[in-house]
Amino acid sequence: MIAQTIRKTIDQQNLIPDAVQVVVGVSGGADSVALLRILYELGIPLIAAHLNHQLRGADADADEAFVRALAEELHLPLRVKAVDVKALAASSGLSIEMAARQARHDFFAEFENAVIALAHHADDQVETFILKLVRGAGPDGLSGMPFVQRLGPLRLIRPMLNCSRAEIYDWLRARGFSWREDASNTDETFLRNCIRHRVLPLLAELNPNVSNHILRSMDILREESEWMDLSIADCRLPIADLPLAAQRRSLRKWLFENGVEEVRFEAVEGILGLMKKGEGTTLYELNGSQRVVVEYGQPRVESDPLPTPCPEWTLTTERGFGWKRDRADAVGSLPAEASFNAAKVGESPMEVRTFRPGDRMTPLGVNGSRKLQDIFTDLKLPRAQRDRVPLVVCRGEIIWLPGYRIAADWAVPSPTAEAVHVTLKSK
C-alpha cells in the first residue's frame, strides 16, 4: 500500500522528471531506509548519499557502516562524506542545527542534474505545524514542507509526505528490514521530540483525528498561500504602497528567492522598518552567516562563505627610528607594516594570533578601549572572516590590527624616537 501511495505521489506531483538522477539522502534511520528500498522496488535508478555529521561519535560511524552495507546489498552507487559539524558551527557562528543543514545542502549540491529525495513524512508535517505555531509562524510556515522545493541549484523532493510514520514502520517490519535508531530522538529537551512524545498524544486524547485535521488545515493554508503569491506576482507598485500583509509577503518571497531559508516574523518587520526609513546604509543580521544590507531603502542579502583554514604567518622585526604607516589593502590583508615605540616594546616578544571572545584594544586616535567584535562590525567584516584576521600581541595586549590601526599606547611618539618596525606576511 505504501509503495502505491509513493508511486501515486511521484506521478501526481511530477517529482521525478525524465533524464535526472535521483539521489536519496540516507541517514540509516527507518524513514530514509524505507524510502530507499521502496524507490528501489519501484525500479527508479538511484544513488545513495550519506553525510556523517560526526556529532554522535561511534554511533555516527555505525550509521555510516550500516548505510554502506545497505547500498552494497542493493548494488547501488553510494557517496559518503564526513563533516565536523560542531567545528563548522563554532567557526561560522551558526547553531549546530543550522550548521548541519548547511553541510547537508553543500553535500547535496555536489550532485549535478539530480533531484534529492528526502524521507519526510506526514507525521513530520504535523510536528512541523505545531513547531511553527509555537514560534509564531504565518501561513507559509504553517503550510509545512512542500512536495518539491527549490533551494538555489537544489531540487528537493519529498515522496513520502502522504505516508504516516506507522505505515513506514509496518512496511519495514513486515519485510524484516532493519534500520538504525538515533537515541537522540527520545530526548525531550529537543522541542520536536517533546511535541512528538508529549504534545501530540495529549492532543490525540482531545481528538483522535487531530493529525488528519492538522494536515487538512495545512493543505488549506498552502492553497491560500499560493493564491496570495499569485495575487502579488504582477504588482509593480513600490513595496511601501502595498497593504502591510502584501509588503510582508513580498519581502518574505524576495528573501527566499535570495537564499534565505527561514525568515522569522521579527526579521521581516525589522527589515521593512529599515526599508521605510530610506536613509543611509543599515544592517539586519539574519543568522550567523547571512544579513540584509539596506541602502537608501533598497535591500540586498549578503552571505558569508564557508570558512577556510587560517593561514600561518611570519613576523619580522627590525630596530630603527621614526615610523612606517600601517599599510594593508584591507583589514587583515597581508603583507602589512607598522612601527611601535621601542621603549614600550623593550625586549618583549611579539606573537600573532586570531580573535578570542572578549578581546579589546585601544586604537590610536580613538578615545578609550573598544571590543574587537564592535570594531569588526563597524568595518562590516563578515563573521566567517573574523576568525582568520591576524592580531599582533605583546605582553598580553593587542597592539596591532593590520589594515586598521595600532594601539595608542604603543605608537612611536616622534620621527626621531627609536622604533620597532614590524612586517607581517602569510607563509
pLDDT of residue 8: 95
> In the numeric block, which cell numbers belong to residue 260?
534565505
C-alpha cell at 336: 602589512
How many angstroms separate the Cα of 337 from the Cα of each of 17, 345, 379, 385, 400?
58, 16, 20, 21, 10
> 243-247 long-range CB contacts below 8 Å, 24 or more apart?
247/272
What CA–CA distance (Å, rounded) separates 361 from 363?
Answer: 6
Show the beta-strand stretches assigned E in 83-159. 114-117, 148-151, 154-157
pLDDT at 109: 86
139 by Cβ neighbours in 10 Å (0-12 / 13-18 / 19+) ranks as middle
Instruction: Give the full edge-to-edge strand order of the sheet including 298-303.
Output: 281-285, 290-295, 298-303
Neighbours of 288 (CB within 10 A): 18
Q: Which three three-digit cell numbers place residue 327?
A: 599599510
Rounded Cα distance, 414 and 296, in Å = 43
Cα separation, 47 vs 111, whole angstroms: 10
Distance between CA atoms of 216 and 122, rounded to whole angstroms? 11
Instruction: Evaluate whether 2-211 and 313-426 have a shared fold.
Output: no
| Residue in this structure with the C-alpha cell 552507487, named with its chain if needed | 77
Blockwise average pLDDT, block size 10, the chain, 427 residues: 94 86 94 96 94 90 95 96 86 76 88 91 95 85 89 86 96 96 80 92 95 94 84 66 85 81 81 84 77 86 62 82 63 83 89 84 85 82 78 90 88 87 85
Q: Locate cell 621614526: which residue?
A: 322
Give the domain 2-211 fold: Rossmann fold (3.40.50)
Q: Provide the grid cell at 390.
A: 591576524
Residues facing 49 on adjacent strands: 25, 79
Q: Note the pLDDT of residue 238.
A: 67
- What backbone torsions phi and psi does residue 87 show, to the nearest 5 degrees? -65, -40
Three-class secondary structure of residue 290 per DSSP: strand
Find, among 261, 21, 47, the residue nearest to 140 by Cα. Answer: 261
| Domain residue spans of the chain | 2-211, 238-303, 313-426
CA nearest neighbour of 20 among 158, 159, 155: 155
All 3 cell numbers of residue 286?
539574519
pLDDT at res. 92: 67
Q: Is the pTM of this model over 0.85?
A: no
User: Do β-strands 290-295 and 154-157 pair in parallel, antiparallel, or remain unpaired?
Assistant: unpaired
Query: Which class is domain 313-426?
Result: alpha beta
| Helices vs strands, H then E, count in the chain | 16, 18
Provide the CB-side half-sphere exposure for 203 (13 A, CA). Answer: 16
Radius of gyration of the chain (CA): 27
User: For strand 154-157 and strand 114-117, is the pairing parallel, antiparallel, or unpaired?
Assistant: parallel
Give the three cell numbers for residue 75.
548494488
d(CA 196, CA 161): 17
Mean pLDDT of the chain: 86
Strand pairing report for 397-401 and 418-426? unpaired
- Residue 300 DSSP symbol: E
